[in-house]
Amino acid sequence: MIYDKEYVINTMLNLLKTPSPSGDTEKAMTLVENYFKELNITTKRTIKNALIATIEGKDDSKHRTVSAHVDTLGAMVKEIKDDGTLKLSQIGGYAWATIEGEYCTISTLDEKEYTGTILLDCASTHVHGSKVNDTIRSADNIIIRIDEKVKNKKDILDLGINVGDFVYLDSRTQLTQSGFIKSRHLDDKACVASILGIAKYLKDNNITPEYTTHFFISNYEEVGHGSSASIPSKTFEFLAIDMAAPGKGQMSSEYEVTICAKDSTGPYDLEFRKKLVSLAKNNDVNYNIDIYPFYGSDASAALRAGHEIKHALIGPGVDASHSYERIHLDSIDATVSLAILYIVNK
């Protein structure tokens, strides 16, 4: 299947450079919206500011919705300490140790931005000795050292920084010659870029989907309610495209698409899964089937919210998820291929 792979890579890299923690996603959402508009695909925003792009199908009596989420992990300023450092409140689920040493940006309500570094409050071994190794990282001792001449709380407030300001984690994105992308926030910007590649393939080849198809770009998935509302009313099948989780005891791979059978919310629809497996088998798409014990998706959020739909989940393998992540282009290719096959078949 020939689709514009360079387009997928470039849109992914642009998205990864655009901060969008849950709750502060407008810049990334506008970027995605503009990509859809360039493809002459109709879009609309929901009240929650999710994005829905729609391509009319051969059959408009029932619809398919395909989702990915543009929101990512991040943080907010929780407290301004007397020494001029900042304590954090997490956005999304991650271990504090995974962000230690990361560069970051604080974004204020009046749109000023300040850089800093996330550190343990006893980071220096020359000062604190073995305490650096012995300390369990937590919300109580992980702080931001801001790159400004500040000595106390007043100095921070004078900059315009306050509690509730968003903190962006630097993505540090790299594309290697061997086809890996190393970056924070591949969950789920790799899949948003994949959806844009799918949409471009349909448009470039003048392909009409079997059913009217909505591309639902959610903006609160990392906090659990991304697609809990505003799913188009005629939707009978909901396919979430989100990262697969390779690791010990898992079947997921960085080089294939994974079809999820079950996550922490329960099993995905069996008939829908069989359909996806059959499409992969019959078209030589490399795939795995896996179960994720600590995972939920936009599809499972839709079910919990009471939507009566068949739900499924596929995605490319993202190593070290919710840490400094890595993905291979082979896995993205398999994911895009399977999703296209699904959209153009009954």
- pLDDT, tens digit, 9 for 90 and up, residues 244-299: 999 999 999 999 999 999 999 999 999 999 999 999 999 999 999 999 999 999 99
3-state secondary structure of 292: coil
pTM: 0.97
Q: From the centroid of its chain, how far is CA 241?
A: 10
Using an 8 Å Cβ cutoff, are 196 and 340 in contact?
no
Any domain includes 27: yes
Domain with 151 in it = 74-169
Kindly state whether residues 112 and 260 are assigned to the same domain.
no
Q: Would you state the pLDDT for residue 1? A: 75
**Shared-domain flag, residues 102 and 57:** no
Residues 139 and 14 in one domain: no
* 104 and 251 fall within a common domain: no
- In this structure, what CATH number is given to the domain that contains residue 323? 3.40.630.10
**Residues 276, 162 share a domain:** no
Q: Is the domain of 194 the same as that of 159?
A: no
CA separation for the pair 112, 110 (Å, rounded): 6
Model confidence at 138: pLDDT above 80: yes
User: Considering the domain boundaries, does residue 175 fall inside one?
Assistant: no
Q: Which two tokens stand for residue 166?
A: 């968003």
- Please tell me whether residues 291 and 331 are part of one structural domain: yes
Residues 202 and 106 in one domain: no
Alpha-carbon radius of gyration of the chain: 21
Phi and psi, residue 179, nearest 5°: 95, 10
pLDDT digits (tens, 9 = 90+) for 101-116: 999 999 999 999 999 9
What share of the chain in percent tops pLDDT 90? Answer: 100
Domain boundary among 169, 193, 228: 169
Task: Please check whether residue 178 lies inside any domain of the structure.
Answer: no
Enumerate the active-site residues.
221
Kindly state whether residues 227 and 272 are assigned to the same domain. yes
- Total domains in the chain come to 2
CA 179, chain centre distance (Å): 20
Q: Are the beta carbons of 197 and 343 closer than 8 angstroms?
A: no
